Structure 1
């Protein structure tokens, strides 16, 4: 064989080149491609679609390369040791026996032989081979794949556990949140557990007292228990505590509409802040306007007109409070003589009636002057009758005890005999509306002979 360094001929059995001193490389260079080719050939014979995947190829290549380098280094170390032992023996011979085999080396001839217990035959695994058993490579690849699968399963399991933990935390937070309390309350309410539902809704109000959903839900519980007064009081207390919160007003308005009390909507909005009334303008119903000034006293029958921005006006003239069942306004209202109280409401497009607007009107017809009474004041010596002139539409009343006459006094029905002696006679007229005229007074003295 020739030296791979300088090309000189090296005798058989010589461990180094005498010309350049380079050691003889008995084992050929390890080439990992041999393993790869062997694995591919085996995969082809086995019928696999993919004898060796890319990932295993790269890892195997690198691993085998490093293993081959390690094997060559170990062989060089052993060869150097043998060389040193052979040269120090000066032509001697070293023999080593292990088991039934025998190993002998001779530095004179440069031959190396081994017995492995089979009668000196060369067998087993040759030191010159540089390949790895394909079956072992397959098992190693399977182990790597199994490790990857286990790692993948662990990652997935960890991810599932993480998701479960996050879901549990979110669920816990939700159950204790405002929405969670309302949700649990609604479920309890649907199952007929009213007290339990009320507890959840009260918890929700405690968490967010300025929101309206919990008030509406709790009102349904009160109504289910036939306790409408408690539901209404709950809303009124909430409005008193939070007079600027529109959501509470909206919840209260919905309650009044559901319980057919639309007139109460105007009551709660009457004193609401301007910004609240502005946001809830569709529920605000302004009262109607009156065409007559109630501070004036009229001397004749009047026509009262009512106007409104709403869809309808309802009114009463007997002093009672109007509602949608009262007289609907279509034509001007006749204001007769005397005092008339007109009360009216306006209903807007949302069906919300306004607060009643009430006015009192007075019509007084001009009355006659004090009644004419004959005879006039004087002294009389013969029997005489007293006569009162009564115009149409009036009734006369009189007294003879010096008191002023009223409708409770003696009614005049015809001439009156003048009493003997001194008499103070007073007379008054009363019209159909109970208005009295001035009083006429006469002083009579009747002395009969």
Structure 2
């Protein structure tokens, strides 16, 4: 082949001229017969296809159309399934169940801060409030975050739909938290607002409820034995003039007997943890008839011989008395008809109390008894010991019973009395004293004359409300 560019010969099989580099363009020789034959063949194929298409039935075309629509439907459904699956997975990962499971895994691993994030996610997703909050409380406790810890517990106890079991758990934790820090005022405030009576009862020792009065305030025509009640152990303080009591006011110990008059009682309770309750107030108007004051036959003064004090009161009244200066009431000593005047100085206060508990005005007597005699009660006691020693009942003047029995006979001065037609006597009561110092009364009494010390056995005579001498003189005296 000759290169059309430079005229040099190009070897057979080369695509470029070795001299000028011109690309060889191979153009086949034109053959009219072949071209006509190809043209006829192509024309026949086109006609055949055209005829087949014209002859194709309409049903086949409809099938292809339906197949296309079905394909599109399948593609749509598949896309929808994929979309639903995507959203389902997304929703699950954001669900309370998944967030809770994830949080528990973090808790087991000790990653409490990350667990709290998942727990908050579970809470936002509508999970169980009480279950999630308790887990959050445990996380805050592990992290030492006290403010969030106690805040979450308060959210639990203030939530309306928390079960009783979880409510009790929350209260237990709050109370334990405050009790450990000795913040008892917060415990009391918490319990006062607690709607669950069983929880209040369980922790009643921490509560300081307002005291309660046993009588409703108002007017009464009888003596009111007023009691002031508290909900647990502690101290109740009260006033009767309307002022507010404190721990330095009078403490309530026993019923307050309200007699004729008007009283404005105010009470406060302070529990064992020092928590003070609100004040309780009540007003009472008492209007009852008062019995007459007791009549005492011996007036105040100095006496030189033994005296028996006789006291009388109107019918239906009991006489009570004191010797220590206190005001007599229903708990004082009862006058039983026998009341010898004590030696030396003494002071008596008498009151008559009727069947309704109404007390009379108080009768006061002050006495000084100093018998004119050369012998004291100690001299009289020595007479009894010498008699017992001489009769072998004791082995020494100390009163020892025997060498084998270390107990002692003790003779205790009881009183001095005048025995009708016999004279004035010192009266002694006999006791046995054990080695441990305890004493037992034998029931025996001895009377020693005040002026010459004769010794008699004696006993109390109920008929005369006085002592009576035995028939035998035991010791002659001086």
Bin of the TM-score, shorter chain as denominator length: 0.3 to 0.5
Would you tell me which structure has more helix in proportion to its own residues? 1
Q: What TM-score do the two structures reach when normalised by structure 2?
A: 0.34
Question: Which structure ranks higher in relative contact order (CA pairs < 8 Å, sequence separation ≥ 6)?
Answer: 1
Whichever of the two has the greater Rg, that structure is 1
